[in-house]
Structure 1
Amino acid sequence: MLHDLFTPSVQHALDLAGIFVFAISGALLAVRKNFDVFGMAVLAEITALGGGLLRDLIIGAVPPAAFTDLGYFSMPLVATALVFFLHPQVERIQGAVNVFDAAGLGLFCVTGTTKAYEFGLGLTASAALGLATAVGGGVLRDVLANEVPSLLRWDRDLYAVPAIVGAAMVALCIRFDALNGLTSGFAVLTAFVLRLLAMRFHWRAPRAWNRRSAAAEEPSPS
Protein backbone atom coordinates (compact mmCIF):
# COMPACT_ATOMS: atom_id res chain seq x y z
CA MET A 1 0.00 0.00 0.00
CA LEU A 2 2.80 2.41 0.86
CA HIS A 3 4.28 2.12 -2.61
CA ASP A 4 0.94 3.16 -4.07
CA LEU A 5 1.04 6.50 -2.22
CA PHE A 6 4.47 7.68 -3.31
CA THR A 7 6.98 6.51 -5.89
CA PRO A 8 10.02 4.80 -4.33
CA SER A 9 12.28 7.74 -5.15
CA VAL A 10 9.88 10.29 -3.64
CA GLN A 11 9.34 8.13 -0.55
CA HIS A 12 13.08 7.74 -0.10
CA ALA A 13 13.68 11.49 -0.45
CA LEU A 14 10.93 12.27 2.08
CA ASP A 15 12.36 9.74 4.53
CA LEU A 16 15.84 11.22 4.22
CA ALA A 17 14.49 14.74 4.76
CA GLY A 18 12.65 13.66 7.90
CA ILE A 19 15.70 11.78 9.16
CA PHE A 20 17.90 14.82 8.58
CA VAL A 21 15.80 17.30 10.57
CA PHE A 22 15.29 14.84 13.43
CA ALA A 23 19.05 14.25 13.48
CA ILE A 24 19.66 18.01 13.68
CA SER A 25 17.55 18.22 16.84
CA GLY A 26 19.50 15.33 18.39
CA ALA A 27 22.87 16.85 17.57
CA LEU A 28 21.80 20.26 18.92
CA LEU A 29 20.75 18.72 22.22
CA ALA A 30 24.16 17.04 22.43
CA VAL A 31 25.85 20.43 21.97
CA ARG A 32 23.71 21.93 24.75
CA LYS A 33 24.68 19.00 27.01
CA ASN A 34 28.37 19.55 26.18
CA PHE A 35 28.78 16.10 24.56
CA ASP A 36 31.76 15.32 22.33
CA VAL A 37 31.45 14.57 18.62
CA PHE A 38 30.77 10.88 19.26
CA GLY A 39 27.95 11.75 21.64
CA MET A 40 26.56 14.14 19.04
CA ALA A 41 26.56 11.39 16.43
CA VAL A 42 24.88 8.91 18.79
CA LEU A 43 22.09 11.34 19.69
CA ALA A 44 21.63 12.30 16.03
CA GLU A 45 21.37 8.65 14.95
CA ILE A 46 19.01 7.60 17.73
CA THR A 47 16.75 10.63 17.26
CA ALA A 48 16.49 10.14 13.53
CA LEU A 49 16.24 6.36 13.36
CA GLY A 50 15.00 5.22 16.78
CA GLY A 51 11.28 5.37 16.04
CA GLY A 52 11.53 3.57 12.72
CA LEU A 53 13.90 0.99 14.16
CA LEU A 54 11.48 0.23 16.99
CA ARG A 55 8.60 -0.11 14.54
CA ASP A 56 10.50 -2.41 12.19
CA LEU A 57 11.60 -4.70 15.02
CA ILE A 58 8.03 -4.97 16.32
CA ILE A 59 6.46 -5.75 12.94
CA GLY A 60 9.26 -8.13 11.92
CA ALA A 61 10.63 -6.00 9.07
CA VAL A 62 14.16 -7.26 9.57
CA PRO A 63 16.83 -6.29 9.03
CA PRO A 64 15.45 -2.80 9.67
CA ALA A 65 15.72 -0.20 6.92
CA ALA A 66 18.19 1.75 9.07
CA PHE A 67 20.70 -1.09 8.52
CA THR A 68 19.98 -1.87 4.88
CA ASP A 69 20.02 1.63 3.41
CA LEU A 70 23.31 3.48 3.70
CA GLY A 71 21.53 6.79 3.16
CA TYR A 72 19.41 6.30 6.27
CA PHE A 73 22.47 5.63 8.41
CA SER A 74 24.72 8.30 6.90
CA MET A 75 22.24 11.20 6.87
CA PRO A 76 22.45 11.68 10.68
CA LEU A 77 26.24 11.77 10.33
CA VAL A 78 25.89 14.58 7.79
CA ALA A 79 23.64 16.42 10.24
CA THR A 80 26.20 15.85 13.01
CA ALA A 81 29.00 17.34 10.90
CA LEU A 82 26.84 20.34 10.06
CA VAL A 83 26.01 21.01 13.71
CA PHE A 84 29.58 20.32 14.84
CA PHE A 85 31.00 23.09 12.65
CA LEU A 86 28.02 25.45 12.37
CA HIS A 87 25.98 25.00 15.55
CA PRO A 88 25.76 28.74 16.37
CA GLN A 89 24.26 29.35 12.93
CA VAL A 90 21.98 26.32 13.22
CA GLU A 91 20.80 27.53 16.64
CA ARG A 92 19.86 30.87 15.05
CA ILE A 93 17.57 29.13 12.58
CA GLN A 94 15.99 26.95 15.29
CA GLY A 95 12.55 28.19 14.22
CA ALA A 96 13.09 26.86 10.72
CA VAL A 97 14.42 23.58 12.11
CA ASN A 98 11.26 23.28 14.22
CA VAL A 99 9.11 23.74 11.13
CA PHE A 100 10.94 20.95 9.31
CA ASP A 101 10.76 18.82 12.44
CA ALA A 102 6.98 19.28 12.43
CA ALA A 103 6.91 18.19 8.80
CA GLY A 104 8.93 15.09 9.67
CA LEU A 105 6.52 14.34 12.49
CA GLY A 106 3.57 14.47 10.11
CA LEU A 107 5.28 12.34 7.51
CA PHE A 108 6.53 9.65 9.88
CA CYS A 109 3.24 9.18 11.73
CA VAL A 110 1.55 8.51 8.38
CA THR A 111 4.18 6.26 6.82
CA GLY A 112 4.69 4.43 10.12
CA THR A 113 0.98 3.64 10.43
CA THR A 114 0.76 2.50 6.83
CA LYS A 115 3.82 0.25 7.03
CA ALA A 116 2.60 -1.36 10.25
CA TYR A 117 -0.75 -2.15 8.61
CA GLU A 118 1.01 -3.60 5.58
CA PHE A 119 2.71 -6.09 7.91
CA GLY A 120 -0.61 -7.37 9.23
CA LEU A 121 -1.30 -5.33 12.37
CA GLY A 122 -4.78 -4.14 13.23
CA LEU A 123 -5.81 -0.53 12.84
CA THR A 124 -5.32 0.46 16.49
CA ALA A 125 -1.93 -1.21 16.72
CA SER A 126 -0.90 0.32 13.39
CA ALA A 127 -1.81 3.81 14.60
CA ALA A 128 0.12 3.20 17.83
CA LEU A 129 3.20 2.24 15.85
CA GLY A 130 2.70 5.29 13.63
CA LEU A 131 2.92 7.37 16.79
CA ALA A 132 5.98 5.43 17.95
CA THR A 133 7.67 6.00 14.59
CA ALA A 134 7.13 9.75 14.87
CA VAL A 135 8.09 10.31 18.51
CA GLY A 136 10.13 7.27 19.55
CA GLY A 137 13.47 8.71 18.49
CA GLY A 138 12.91 11.86 20.52
CA VAL A 139 12.08 9.84 23.63
CA LEU A 140 15.23 7.72 23.27
CA ARG A 141 17.27 10.89 22.68
CA ASP A 142 16.05 12.48 25.92
CA VAL A 143 16.62 9.30 27.92
CA LEU A 144 20.21 9.02 26.68
CA ALA A 145 20.74 12.70 27.47
CA ASN A 146 19.48 12.10 31.03
CA GLU A 147 16.43 14.31 30.63
CA VAL A 148 12.74 13.73 31.26
CA PRO A 149 11.41 13.03 27.75
CA SER A 150 9.80 16.11 26.26
CA LEU A 151 6.86 13.90 25.38
CA LEU A 152 6.03 13.57 29.10
CA ARG A 153 6.61 17.13 30.25
CA TRP A 154 3.70 19.46 30.94
CA ASP A 155 5.73 22.54 29.99
CA ARG A 156 6.28 21.43 26.39
CA ASP A 157 4.02 22.31 23.49
CA LEU A 158 1.88 19.47 22.15
CA TYR A 159 3.98 16.98 20.18
CA ALA A 160 2.41 13.55 20.48
CA VAL A 161 -1.17 14.76 19.96
CA PRO A 162 -0.61 15.95 16.37
CA ALA A 163 1.06 12.61 15.59
CA ILE A 164 -1.86 10.74 17.18
CA VAL A 165 -4.31 12.70 15.06
CA GLY A 166 -2.36 12.01 11.89
CA ALA A 167 -2.02 8.29 12.64
CA ALA A 168 -5.72 8.03 13.55
CA MET A 169 -6.70 9.69 10.28
CA VAL A 170 -4.69 7.11 8.35
CA ALA A 171 -6.30 4.27 10.31
CA LEU A 172 -9.77 5.63 9.56
CA CYS A 173 -8.93 6.00 5.87
CA ILE A 174 -7.75 2.39 5.78
CA ARG A 175 -10.92 1.29 7.57
CA PHE A 176 -13.12 2.93 4.95
CA ASP A 177 -10.87 2.01 2.03
CA ALA A 178 -10.12 5.67 1.36
CA LEU A 179 -6.34 5.77 1.78
CA ASN A 180 -4.65 7.26 -1.27
CA GLY A 181 -2.10 9.93 -2.06
CA LEU A 182 -4.58 12.73 -1.42
CA THR A 183 -5.91 11.49 1.93
CA SER A 184 -2.47 10.49 3.18
CA GLY A 185 -1.15 13.90 2.21
CA PHE A 186 -4.03 15.50 4.09
CA ALA A 187 -3.15 13.46 7.20
CA VAL A 188 0.48 14.60 6.96
CA LEU A 189 -0.66 18.20 6.53
CA THR A 190 -3.06 17.98 9.48
CA ALA A 191 -0.40 16.69 11.87
CA PHE A 192 2.05 19.28 10.55
CA VAL A 193 -0.34 22.21 10.98
CA LEU A 194 -1.44 21.06 14.44
CA ARG A 195 2.17 20.94 15.56
CA LEU A 196 2.85 24.40 14.14
CA LEU A 197 -0.22 25.80 15.89
CA ALA A 198 0.83 24.16 19.15
CA MET A 199 4.22 25.86 18.91
CA ARG A 200 2.71 29.19 17.91
CA PHE A 201 0.08 29.32 20.64
CA HIS A 202 1.85 27.12 23.22
CA TRP A 203 -0.90 24.52 23.39
CA ARG A 204 -0.28 22.00 26.16
CA ALA A 205 -2.06 18.94 27.45
CA PRO A 206 -4.00 19.38 30.72
CA ARG A 207 -2.60 18.04 33.95
CA ALA A 208 -4.51 16.14 36.62
CA TRP A 209 -7.85 17.63 37.66
CA ASN A 210 -7.65 19.52 40.98
CA ARG A 211 -3.94 18.86 41.09
CA ARG A 212 -2.41 19.50 44.52
CA SER A 213 1.24 18.60 44.11
CA ALA A 214 3.91 20.09 46.32
CA ALA A 215 6.62 19.33 43.75
CA ALA A 216 8.44 22.32 42.40
CA GLU A 217 7.49 23.19 38.86
CA GLU A 218 10.32 23.50 36.41
CA PRO A 219 9.96 26.71 34.43
CA SER A 220 9.38 26.53 30.74
CA PRO A 221 12.55 27.21 28.73
CA SER A 222 12.82 30.48 26.89
Structure 2
Amino acid sequence: MIQIAICSQDQEEQARLAQLLFGWFQSAGVLLRLASFATADAFLQEYQPGDFGFIFLDANLAPTSGLELARHIRKCADSCQIVFLSQDGAAALSCYQVHPAGFFVKPVAAEALSELLQWNRGLFLHDMDSITVVSARIHRKVLLADILYVTVSGRTSRIRLLQEQVNTNCTLNQLADQLPPSRFFRCHRSYVVNGAHVRKLTGRTLELDNGEQVPVSEDKLHPVREWVAAHCAHS
Protein backbone atom coordinates (compact mmCIF):
# COMPACT_ATOMS: atom_id res chain seq x y z
CA MET A 1 0.00 0.00 0.00
CA ILE A 2 1.09 3.56 -0.69
CA GLN A 3 -0.24 6.71 0.95
CA ILE A 4 -0.57 9.93 -1.04
CA ALA A 5 -1.72 13.40 0.01
CA ILE A 6 -3.24 16.13 -2.14
CA CYS A 7 -3.28 19.64 -0.72
CA SER A 8 -5.23 22.07 -2.89
CA GLN A 9 -8.10 24.52 -2.63
CA ASP A 10 -9.02 23.70 -6.22
CA GLN A 11 -11.69 21.07 -5.54
CA GLU A 12 -12.27 20.27 -9.19
CA GLU A 13 -8.60 19.56 -9.84
CA GLN A 14 -8.29 17.71 -6.55
CA ALA A 15 -11.12 15.36 -7.55
CA ARG A 16 -9.72 14.92 -11.05
CA LEU A 17 -6.23 14.12 -9.77
CA ALA A 18 -7.65 11.66 -7.24
CA GLN A 19 -9.48 9.84 -10.04
CA LEU A 20 -6.30 9.61 -12.13
CA LEU A 21 -4.28 8.32 -9.17
CA PHE A 22 -6.83 5.67 -8.19
CA GLY A 23 -7.03 4.51 -11.80
CA TRP A 24 -3.26 4.27 -12.21
CA PHE A 25 -2.62 2.43 -8.96
CA GLN A 26 -5.52 0.06 -9.59
CA SER A 27 -3.99 -0.88 -12.93
CA ALA A 28 -0.64 -1.38 -11.16
CA GLY A 29 -2.26 -3.63 -8.56
CA VAL A 30 -1.23 -1.40 -5.66
CA LEU A 31 -3.59 -0.38 -2.87
CA LEU A 32 -3.77 3.40 -2.57
CA ARG A 33 -4.77 5.36 0.50
CA LEU A 34 -5.45 8.96 -0.46
CA ALA A 35 -5.83 11.94 1.89
CA SER A 36 -7.10 15.29 0.62
CA PHE A 37 -6.68 18.69 2.28
CA ALA A 38 -7.86 22.18 1.33
CA THR A 39 -5.30 24.16 3.35
CA ALA A 40 -1.77 23.80 4.71
CA ASP A 41 -3.11 24.03 8.27
CA ALA A 42 -5.50 21.13 7.68
CA PHE A 43 -2.62 19.08 6.28
CA LEU A 44 -0.28 19.87 9.18
CA GLN A 45 -2.89 18.82 11.76
CA GLU A 46 -2.63 15.24 10.50
CA TYR A 47 0.89 15.18 9.05
CA GLN A 48 3.59 12.92 10.42
CA PRO A 49 6.97 12.76 8.63
CA GLY A 50 7.21 9.60 6.57
CA ASP A 51 3.45 9.10 6.27
CA PHE A 52 3.23 9.78 2.54
CA GLY A 53 5.09 8.49 -0.49
CA PHE A 54 3.88 11.44 -2.59
CA ILE A 55 2.51 14.82 -1.56
CA PHE A 56 0.83 16.90 -4.29
CA LEU A 57 0.93 20.57 -3.26
CA ASP A 58 -0.88 23.42 -4.96
CA ALA A 59 1.61 26.27 -5.32
CA ASN A 60 -1.32 28.70 -5.06
CA LEU A 61 -2.41 27.62 -1.58
CA ALA A 62 -3.42 30.44 0.80
CA PRO A 63 -2.73 31.78 3.32
CA THR A 64 0.26 29.42 3.60
CA SER A 65 1.64 28.75 0.12
CA GLY A 66 2.53 25.36 -1.24
CA LEU A 67 6.21 26.32 -1.27
CA GLU A 68 6.13 27.33 2.40
CA LEU A 69 4.47 24.03 3.25
CA ALA A 70 7.08 22.15 1.22
CA ARG A 71 9.88 23.91 3.12
CA HIS A 72 8.30 22.78 6.39
CA ILE A 73 8.10 19.19 5.12
CA ARG A 74 11.78 19.23 4.17
CA LYS A 75 12.75 20.71 7.56
CA CYS A 76 11.14 17.62 9.08
CA ALA A 77 13.72 15.56 7.15
CA ASP A 78 10.91 13.99 5.13
CA SER A 79 12.25 12.65 1.83
CA CYS A 80 8.81 12.03 0.29
CA GLN A 81 8.22 12.91 -3.34
CA ILE A 82 6.74 16.42 -3.50
CA VAL A 83 4.85 17.35 -6.66
CA PHE A 84 3.67 20.91 -7.26
CA LEU A 85 0.46 21.92 -9.00
CA SER A 86 -0.01 25.41 -10.38
CA GLN A 87 -2.20 27.51 -12.63
CA ASP A 88 0.89 28.46 -14.67
CA GLY A 89 4.62 27.86 -14.75
CA ALA A 90 5.63 31.15 -13.09
CA ALA A 91 6.41 29.53 -9.74
CA ALA A 92 8.34 26.59 -11.13
CA LEU A 93 11.86 27.95 -10.63
CA SER A 94 11.35 28.94 -6.98
CA CYS A 95 9.71 25.60 -6.18
CA TYR A 96 12.76 23.61 -7.23
CA GLN A 97 14.66 24.74 -4.12
CA VAL A 98 12.86 21.96 -2.20
CA HIS A 99 13.83 19.30 -4.77
CA PRO A 100 10.36 18.26 -5.98
CA ALA A 101 9.71 15.20 -8.10
CA GLY A 102 7.69 17.29 -10.54
CA PHE A 103 5.83 20.48 -11.34
CA PHE A 104 2.51 20.25 -13.19
CA VAL A 105 0.42 23.00 -14.69
CA LYS A 106 -3.26 22.33 -14.05
CA PRO A 107 -5.09 20.40 -15.28
CA VAL A 108 -2.60 17.59 -14.79
CA ALA A 109 -2.15 15.52 -17.96
CA ALA A 110 -2.76 11.80 -17.41
CA GLU A 111 0.26 10.87 -19.53
CA ALA A 112 2.59 13.19 -17.57
CA LEU A 113 1.31 11.80 -14.26
CA SER A 114 1.81 8.24 -15.48
CA GLU A 115 5.41 9.03 -16.46
CA LEU A 116 6.06 10.52 -13.01
CA LEU A 117 4.67 7.45 -11.23
CA GLN A 118 6.54 5.05 -13.50
CA TRP A 119 9.78 6.92 -12.85
CA ASN A 120 9.26 6.69 -9.08
CA ARG A 121 7.73 3.25 -8.84
CA GLY A 122 10.64 2.01 -6.75
CA LEU A 123 8.64 3.47 -3.85
CA PHE A 124 5.94 0.85 -4.23
CA LEU A 125 7.55 -1.84 -6.41
CA HIS A 126 7.35 -4.42 -3.61
CA ASP A 127 3.55 -3.94 -3.51
CA MET A 128 2.96 -4.48 -7.23
CA ASP A 129 1.22 -7.70 -8.31
CA SER A 130 3.35 -10.15 -10.27
CA ILE A 131 3.59 -13.68 -11.62
CA THR A 132 6.67 -15.89 -11.83
CA VAL A 133 7.46 -17.81 -15.00
CA VAL A 134 10.37 -19.93 -16.21
CA SER A 135 12.09 -18.42 -19.23
CA ALA A 136 15.32 -19.89 -20.64
CA ARG A 137 15.54 -22.03 -17.46
CA ILE A 138 15.51 -18.92 -15.28
CA HIS A 139 12.67 -17.98 -12.93
CA ARG A 140 11.45 -14.53 -13.91
CA LYS A 141 9.22 -12.25 -11.86
CA VAL A 142 6.92 -10.36 -14.23
CA LEU A 143 4.93 -7.36 -13.02
CA LEU A 144 1.31 -7.51 -14.14
CA ALA A 145 1.29 -3.78 -14.82
CA ASP A 146 4.10 -4.26 -17.37
CA ILE A 147 2.24 -6.89 -19.39
CA LEU A 148 0.66 -5.59 -22.58
CA TYR A 149 -0.65 -8.95 -23.72
CA VAL A 150 0.16 -12.65 -23.77
CA THR A 151 0.05 -14.66 -26.97
CA VAL A 152 1.13 -18.09 -28.14
CA SER A 153 3.19 -19.37 -31.05
CA GLY A 154 3.50 -23.13 -31.33
CA ARG A 155 4.44 -24.42 -27.89
CA THR A 156 5.82 -21.09 -26.72
CA SER A 157 3.82 -18.44 -24.93
CA ARG A 158 5.09 -14.91 -25.44
CA ILE A 159 4.56 -12.34 -22.70
CA ARG A 160 4.80 -8.91 -24.32
CA LEU A 161 6.04 -6.34 -21.81
CA LEU A 162 6.54 -2.60 -22.05
CA GLN A 163 10.25 -2.97 -22.80
CA GLU A 164 10.80 -6.60 -23.78
CA GLN A 165 9.28 -9.98 -24.54
CA VAL A 166 9.50 -12.98 -22.21
CA ASN A 167 9.10 -16.44 -23.71
CA THR A 168 7.96 -19.39 -21.62
CA ASN A 169 6.81 -22.97 -22.11
CA CYS A 170 3.73 -22.35 -19.93
CA THR A 171 0.58 -22.72 -21.96
CA LEU A 172 -1.60 -19.70 -22.63
CA ASN A 173 -4.35 -21.24 -20.47
CA GLN A 174 -1.93 -21.72 -17.57
CA LEU A 175 -0.85 -18.08 -17.79
CA ALA A 176 -4.43 -16.84 -18.18
CA ASP A 177 -5.39 -18.67 -14.98
CA GLN A 178 -2.77 -16.61 -13.09
CA LEU A 179 -3.97 -13.27 -14.44
CA PRO A 180 -6.83 -11.53 -12.57
CA PRO A 181 -9.97 -11.38 -14.77
CA SER A 182 -10.73 -7.90 -13.44
CA ARG A 183 -7.63 -6.65 -15.31
CA PHE A 184 -7.03 -9.13 -18.15
CA PHE A 185 -9.43 -10.58 -20.70
CA ARG A 186 -9.34 -13.10 -23.55
CA CYS A 187 -9.98 -11.26 -26.81
CA HIS A 188 -8.89 -14.13 -29.07
CA ARG A 189 -8.07 -17.80 -28.64
CA SER A 190 -4.40 -16.84 -28.99
CA TYR A 191 -4.39 -13.57 -27.00
CA VAL A 192 -4.98 -12.39 -23.44
CA VAL A 193 -4.73 -8.61 -23.14
CA ASN A 194 -4.16 -6.25 -20.22
CA GLY A 195 -7.17 -3.94 -20.20
CA ALA A 196 -5.16 -1.11 -18.65
CA HIS A 197 -3.20 -0.76 -21.90
CA VAL A 198 -6.20 -0.78 -24.27
CA ARG A 199 -6.76 2.55 -26.00
CA LYS A 200 -9.62 1.76 -28.36
CA LEU A 201 -11.38 -0.86 -30.47
CA THR A 202 -11.55 -0.41 -34.23
CA GLY A 203 -13.48 -3.08 -36.07
CA ARG A 204 -11.96 -6.31 -34.80
CA THR A 205 -8.67 -4.82 -33.66
CA LEU A 206 -7.65 -3.51 -30.25
CA GLU A 207 -5.19 -0.63 -30.28
CA LEU A 208 -2.90 -0.50 -27.26
CA ASP A 209 -1.36 2.58 -25.69
CA ASN A 210 2.05 1.79 -27.22
CA GLY A 211 0.55 1.65 -30.73
CA GLU A 212 0.54 -2.13 -31.08
CA GLN A 213 -2.57 -3.88 -32.34
CA VAL A 214 -4.18 -7.08 -31.07
CA PRO A 215 -6.83 -9.05 -32.99
CA VAL A 216 -10.30 -9.76 -31.64
CA SER A 217 -12.07 -12.94 -32.70
CA GLU A 218 -15.67 -12.87 -33.85
CA ASP A 219 -16.97 -14.80 -30.83
CA LYS A 220 -15.22 -12.40 -28.42
CA LEU A 221 -16.25 -9.20 -30.18
CA HIS A 222 -19.39 -8.44 -28.16
CA PRO A 223 -17.86 -8.79 -24.64
CA VAL A 224 -14.74 -6.92 -25.78
CA ARG A 225 -16.87 -4.12 -27.20
CA GLU A 226 -18.77 -3.88 -23.89
CA TRP A 227 -15.52 -3.79 -21.92
CA VAL A 228 -14.05 -1.04 -24.08
CA ALA A 229 -17.25 1.01 -23.87
CA ALA A 230 -17.18 0.78 -20.07
CA HIS A 231 -13.48 1.43 -19.54
CA CYS A 232 -12.25 3.48 -22.48
CA ALA A 233 -14.96 6.18 -22.72
CA HIS A 234 -12.22 8.79 -22.41
CA SER A 235 -10.51 7.64 -25.63
TM-score, structure 1 as length reference: 0.25
Give the structure with the higher percent helix. Answer: 1
Give the structure with the higher percent strand. Answer: 2
TM-score, structure 2 as length reference: 0.24
The higher relative CO (CA closer than 8 Å, separation ≥ 6) is in 1
